[in-house]
Amino acid sequence: MPTYFFNVRSDRGLSHDHEGSELPDVEAARFEALTAGKLMVSDAMRSGQKLADALSPSFEIEDDKGQLVLTVSFKEGAEADDHRP
C-alpha cells in the first residue's frame, strides 16, 4: 500500500510530515486531508484564531517518491459536507 505524506503549508512555511500514512490511493489521501483539515480548523477556532487565518493553510500531499500528488486547502475541508470517496 502506498505511503502519503501530509505536509502543511501555512504562512510560517512548510511543516513536513515525516511519518506518512499508508492509504490505498490518492482519493483516500484526499479524504484524509479533508477530514484532518476540518478538525484542524475547528481546533484553531476553539483556541481563538481568526477564521481567515484558520482557513489559510493547506496540505501538500506527497507520495513515497517525494512527488507532490495533491494539494488540499483547509478551507476546502471546512466547506465539504461529505468527504467520503
In a domain, residue 38? The reply is yes
In a domain, residue 72? The reply is yes
Q: What is the pLDDT of residue 80?
A: 74
Total domains, the chain:
1
Cα separation of 30 and 22, whole Å?
13
In a domain, residue 83? The reply is no
Closest CA to 12 of 53, 66, 72: 53
Predicted TM-score of the model (pTM): 0.89
Domain that holds residue 34: 3-76
Residue 13 has pLDDT above 60, yes or no: yes
Q: Are 81 and 43 in contact (CB under 8 A)?
A: no
In a domain, residue 45? The reply is yes
In a domain, residue 81? The reply is no
Residue 57 has pLDDT above 70, yes or no: yes
3-state SS, residue 32: helix
Burial class (CB in 10 A: 0-12, 13-18, 19+), 26: middle
3-state SS, residue 85: coil
